[in-house]
């Protein structure tokens, strides 16, 4: 069960946004990721609890930022409930999308798991509902994912396969690179792996 810590920063000017301490693991039904997010000063800023089924679909999402909360799942596309800071009102949403995304590294692993690309295969288009910090406002986005290459790197615990993805935003054409190994993000825009206590899990 990988445990570790990501540092989060603004991908444009590298302003520190905080840290995300996480643990994740594959299980008989799929994969689960839980984390606690803190501000640069160490204050609690939110949490992530994401479970995927064996096909990589989100069967449960609980996302918290400040006092806002999202609960969602893959149902008729994706469906979610967003609760306001007072907790007295809740709004439901639904979109013909494949999965969710947001600032957490968990969503990059989840999207890669959903698409299951092979090196050199054509880029695949995916529609996602993004929840933007700090108020978790939903926004539907279209991305293109391509697995550029997979390389094995020697480590003390044996070879580690690193996958390099090219991700493109279809509305702006902006492209960025994501490096994954198993269920851990090594590097991505706004994300750096600072500490990893145990090796990443290998998906079957």
Instruction: Provide the residue range defining the domain that includes 186.
Output: 3-198
Half-sphere exposure of 112 (CA within 13 A, CB side): 27
Per-block mean pLDDT, blocks of 10 residues, the chain (204 long): 94 93 90 96 95 95 92 96 84 97 97 94 96 93 97 80 96 95 95 93 80
Whether 179 is covered by a domain: the verdict is yes
Residues 6 or more apart whose CB falls under 8 angstroms from that of 36 comprise 20, 21, 44, 46, 47
Whether 83 is covered by a domain: the verdict is yes
* Per-residue pLDDT tens digits for 20-45: 999 999 977 899 999 999 999 999 99
What integer pLDDT is reported at residue 154 of this predicted model?
80
Domains identified in the chain, total number: 1
Give yes or no for a contact between 65 and 133, defined as CB atoms under 8 angstroms apart.
yes
Whether 204 is covered by a domain: the verdict is no
Whether the predicted model's global pTM rises above the 0.75 cut = yes
Whether 203 is covered by a domain: the verdict is no
């Amino acid at each position: 069960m990988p445990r570790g810590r990501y540092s989060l920063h603004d991908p444009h000017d590298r302003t520190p946004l905080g840290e995300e301490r996480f643990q994740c693991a594959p299980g008989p039904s799929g994969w689960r990721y839980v984390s606690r997010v803190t501000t640069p000063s160490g204050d609690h800023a939110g949490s992530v609890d994401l479970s995927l089924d064996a096909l990589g679909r989100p069967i449960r999402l609980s996302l918290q930022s400040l006092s806002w909360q999202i609960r969602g799942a893959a149902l008729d596309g994706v469906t979610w409930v967003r609760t306001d800071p007072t907790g007295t009102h809740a709004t439901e949403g639904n979109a013909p999308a494949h999965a969710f995304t947001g600032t957490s590294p968990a969503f990059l692993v989840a999207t890669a798991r959903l698409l299951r690309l092979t090196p050199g295969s054509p880029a695949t288009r995916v529609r996602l509902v993004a929840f933007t910090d700090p108020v978790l406002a939903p926004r539907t986005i279209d991305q293109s994912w391509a697995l550029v290459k997979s390389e094995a790197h020697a480590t003390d615990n044996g070879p580690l396969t690193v996958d390099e993805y090219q991700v493109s935003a279809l509305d702006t054409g902006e492209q960025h690179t994501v490096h994954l190994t198993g269920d851990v993000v090594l590097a991505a825009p706004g994300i750096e792996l600072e500490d990893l206590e145990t090796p990443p899990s290998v998906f079957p």
